[in-house]
Every structure is written in C-alpha cells, then in structure tokens.
Amino acid sequence: YLGHPQVYVMDRGFSAWRAAGYPVTSDPPAVRVPAPYEAQVQPHMLADVNDVREASQTGRACLIDSREPKRYLGAEEPIDPAAGHIPGAINRFWRDNLTEDGRWRPVQELAQRFADLPRDRELIVYCGSGVSACPNVLALDEAGFRNVKLYAGSWSDWISYPENPIATGEEN
C-alpha cells in the first residue's frame, strides 16, 4: 500500500523458519545510517464506506466477508456490538487459504477456491477490523485477481453508521 515494490509474506512465519533450521540470531542488528523513504501511497488498493455502500446497493463490486461463517451469518459476534454482514456480501473465511499445517495453499487450489468470483468486477474484501481480510487479499492476488480492494474499516466501521443496513443468514 505504501508503494514498496518488493514485499513478501513468509509462509508459516518465523517459527517455521526457525524450525526448518534457517539461520536466526538474538544479536542486536547492526546500526545503519537511516535512509530516506518516501511512501508512494496506492489509494486504489483501498475501498471506503461509500464504495462499499454503492457495491452493496448496486452489485457494482463483489463484497467478500473474510470472517468465520458464524460471524458472517450473525449467529455470533464476540467483538462488535452488532452481528451480521454487509448486505450482498459473500463469505470466504480467510483461514481456508491455509492447509491443515498452516501453510499457504498452492496457487491452483487458491484459484479453485475463488473460481466462482467475477473477474470482470472489482472485489472488495473486509473482515471485522481490516486485519484478517488481508490474507484473502493476498490469496486473491496469488489466484490472479487484479481488481481487489481492502475495506480497511471493515465491519467495525460499517456498523458505526446507523443508516447502514445489516444482513444475517445466507445471501441468495
């Protein structure tokens, strides 16, 4: 989002790196001379509440809720004061991008997982607060989707506007 061209996600993280025997150290890093970095913000990567309202009302974009199915359905909401999902959203639980041992699924499996999603429309991904939507954003990119946006405010932002509708249950 800040325009850094070489960003990578470590499959299974630091613990897996260490368990695989790759080098680690507890030594403090060498002091380096700070270098200036000018962020090149990529606003096209984010959607705001107005974009999401329009998508919900018109279907212009496909809304993807990344939370657990029980939160999407409105059966349980452990964090926010209202349960449910944004009307028109479909559910794709973010953790289903991972295998049983916590590794990223192969690209072919990710492509199959998202095969029913439209490639000719924008995809707007959200979750509870913008964090667990990111694995879906990354997985969609790996699966070849290029018009994907993150609704960073997500469900917490959506329900902060009393006029925004709330859906429960499955979408048709």
The one catalytic residue among 127, 140, 148, 150:
127
Three-state secondary structure call for residue 129: coil
Residue 127 annotated as catalytic: yes
Closest among 91, 147, 139 to 120, alpha carbons compared: 147
In 21-133, DSSP assigns E strands to 46-47, 61-65, 90-91, 122-126
User: What is the set of active-site residues?
Assistant: 127
